[in-house]
Amino acid sequence: GENVEQHPSTLSVQEGDSAVIKCTYSDSASNYFPWYKQELGKRPQLIIDIRSNVGEKKDQRIAVTLNKTAKHFSLHITETQPEDSAVYFCAASLGGATNKLIFGTGTLLAVQP
């Protein structure tokens, strides 16, 4: 079946450094790629998303890049802060007339003050 691979599973950075999380997907018809942040004990919340007609999107300290040819997309967080510590999930939509998302396995980001 279709799947999304996410790396790394854990990431520790110093406050102020950048963090990069990478995902690959298998369905060539996928055209929507959201990123969710989940703090401990909380619900996943969308932080940024990108569609297949765009190669890059930025929102303040976070950015997402998409390479459709390689089926890769990445989350970039600059100037990390302790409150960025959380689990981050990437997801890809299935192609066709469906709004089903396939989620990656998550990355636990720890920002050390």
Partner 1 sequence: DAGVIQSPRHEVTEMGQEVTLRCKPISGHNSLFWYRQTMMRGLELLIYFNNNVPIDDSGMPEDRFSAKMPNASFSTLKIQPSEPRDSAVYFCASSLMAGLAEYEQYFGPGTRLTVT
Binding residues for partner 1 (CB under 8 A)? 31-32, 34, 42-46, 49, 89, 93, 97-106
Least distance (Å) between residue 81 CB and partner 1: 23
Which of 19/92 has CB closer to partner 1? 92
Enumerate helices (H) and strands (E) in the chain, giving the number of each: 0, 11
Which of 46/54 has CB closer to partner 1? 46
Which of 31/78 has CB closer to partner 1? 31
Contacts (Cβ under 8 Å, ≥6 apart) of 37:
44, 45, 47, 86, 87, 88, 89
Least distance (Å) between residue 19 CB and partner 1: 20
Which of 32/78 has CB closer to partner 1? 32
Least distance (Å) between residue 83 CB and partner 1: 19
Least distance (Å) between residue 48 CB and partner 1: 10
Q: Which of 75, 80, 109, 70 is nearest to 91 (CA)?
A: 75
Contacts (Cβ under 8 Å, ≥6 apart) of 57:
48, 49, 50, 63, 64
Q: Report yes or no: 99 and 88 within 8 Å, Cβ to Cβ.
A: no
